[in-house]
């Protein structure tokens, strides 16, 4: 065999090996220097007009250091005045509806009294919040205009793969609209930030403060994520950024356009734990992945579906579940009123269960009351727990009893250390099963108060005179 023939066969072999890298789904490895010099400019022109700047302003009251001090109030003969000042924040957003529907992060607009949206062409509009949720860190705004706007279509974030090229568009540090490129570094990331959402797309496209709420765009010009967080020690980009997947954004936007004032997550009626390597070995699983069922509430959708403690949910609608956060995300993207097919491992046997998804029920009326009078609970707002209220307060689904929902500042309840989400178990030896019982007990005004509460799963006993 000649050298030329061997060289030709070598080139053909390399090309044959390279082609399957993405030939089946349209992706391909660059084959020449010319392909390496292709530009993102057409893609930027197609999408950048729908990425906006979001300006949020809020009035903040600065309390006087003498506020509430009886001596100074008596000395000056009036309450010490507080000072009000204006604070502003800057973030980004993406127009997903031609009628002016904008998606951004909740933390960009949280507490804002005035929100303005600035388009890439320089136009500015007032806007209002039509839905927000701090747990998923998303907010939907409506531009105050009857005009038609450029949009970015929502893509399928489940089709995203590690290694895909992406663009991040936003307004970092307030310098103006900026485009950065990178790849998808990882999927299904959890434990990224505080809150109960744990399913992020990770990218090395540069994301900095001000990029929050901006778009993560794929090579088809589709929105596959809302940029929301970075890992950084100095406040700048270290190539580890995170975006909320577009499939959750779709459900959130649909909820907003449907007139919902809150974003409800499907109620399952079960609690789940992570599958550790020890648990996987004990259950005969090949990998430490999935969501271990730890508790199932009687009469819940989980019980009706046949889910039992000790089982492991490994997939939802055919998509693998790596951890409990991923399970919550998958169920949230199915949405209220839908059905989900759960792949369940039980003692080495595999089965499929179908679970109906609905809102958490308020099976016990919350009967919210403000405790008044001269007693340790005065100033506490209490309510009867139900699955709906437990979900709102981010408490375990099976929580029962009387819970503190709010505390008036400076009240006796605040001074003794009561906190929101504290569950009142007993008062002077009597079980507190309802807000009515609690209000009756505190009205007796005993000389000694023996209180037992539950806080984050721990029992605390206190005595007061």
Residues recognised as catalytic: 107, 137, 212
Q: What does DSSP assign to residue 410?
A: T
Dihedral over Cα of 12, 17, 19, 23: its sign: positive
Dihedral over Cα of 214, 218, 220, 225: its sign: negative
Assess contact for 155 and 218: CB atoms under 8 A.
Answer: yes
| SS3 letters across 201-263 | EEECCCCCCCCCCCEEECCCCCEEEEEEEECCCCCCCCCCEEEEEHHHHHHHHHHHHCCCCCC
Cα separation, 149 vs 166, in Å, equals 23
The encoded tokens of residue 191 equal 């434990």
Query: How many residues appear in the chain?
Result: 465
Which segments of 105-222 are extended strands (E)? 114-118, 124-133, 138-143, 165-170, 178-189, 200-203, 215-217
Assess contact for 420 and 407: CB atoms under 8 A.
Answer: yes
First to last CA, the chain: 101
């Amino acid at each position: 065999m000649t050298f030329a023939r061997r060289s030709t066969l070598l080139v053909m072999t390399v090309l044959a090996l390279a082609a399957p890298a993405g030939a089946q789904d349209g992706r391909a490895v660059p084959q020449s220097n010319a392909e390496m010099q292709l530009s993102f400019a057409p893609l930027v022109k197609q999408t950048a007009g729908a990425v906006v700047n979001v300006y949020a302003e809020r009035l903040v009251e600065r309390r006087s250091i003498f506020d509430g001090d009886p001596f100074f109030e008596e000395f000056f003969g009036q309450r010490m005045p507080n000072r009000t000042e204006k604070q502003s924040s800057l973030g980004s957003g993406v127009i997903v509806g031609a009628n002016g529907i904008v998606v951004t992060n909740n933390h960009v607009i949280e507490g804002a009294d005035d929100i303005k949206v600035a388009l890439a062409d320089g136009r500015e509009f007032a806007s209002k919040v039509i839905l927000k949720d701090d747990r998923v860190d998303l907010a939907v705004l409506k531009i105050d205009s009857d005009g038609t706007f450029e949009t970015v279509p929502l893509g399928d974030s489940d089709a995203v793969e590690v290694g895909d090229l992406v663009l991040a568009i936003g307004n970092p540090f307030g310098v103006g609209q900026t485009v950065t490129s990178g790849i998808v570094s990882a999927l299904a990331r959890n434990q990224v930030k505080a809150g109960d959402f744990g399913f992020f797309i990770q990218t090395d496209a540069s994301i900095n403060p001000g990029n929050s709420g901006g778009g993560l765009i794929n090579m088809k010009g589709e929105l596959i994520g809302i940029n929301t967080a970075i890992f950084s020690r100095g406040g700048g980009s270290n190539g580890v950024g995170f975006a909320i997947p577009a499939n959750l954004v779709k459900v959130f936007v649909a909820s907003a356009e449907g007139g919902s004032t809150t974003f409800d997550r499907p109620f399952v009626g079960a609690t789940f734990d992570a599958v550790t390597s020890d648990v996987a070995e004990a259950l005969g699983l090949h990998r430490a992945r999935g969501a271990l069922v730890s508790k199932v509430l009687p009469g819940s959708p989980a019980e009706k579906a046949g889910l039992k403690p000790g089982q492991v949910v490994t997939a939802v609608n055919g998509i693998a579940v790596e951890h409990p956060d991923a399970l919550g995300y998958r169920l949230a993207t199915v949405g209220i009123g839908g059905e989900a097919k759960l792949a369940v491992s039980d003692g080495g046997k595999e089965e499929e269960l179908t679970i109906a998804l609905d809102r958490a029920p308020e099976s016990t009326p919350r009967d919210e009351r403000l405790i008044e009078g001269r007693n340790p609970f005065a100033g506490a707002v209490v309510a009867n727990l139900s699955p709906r209220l437990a979900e709102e307060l981010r408490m375990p689904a099976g929580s029962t009893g009387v819970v503190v929902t709010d505390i008036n500042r400076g009240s006796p309840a605040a001074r003794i250390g009561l906190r929101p989400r504290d569950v009142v178990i007993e008062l002077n030896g009597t079980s507190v099963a309802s807000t009515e019982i609690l209000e009756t007990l505190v009205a007796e005004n005993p000389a000694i108060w023996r209180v037992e509460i539950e806080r984050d799963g721990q029992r605390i006993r206190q005595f007061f005179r």
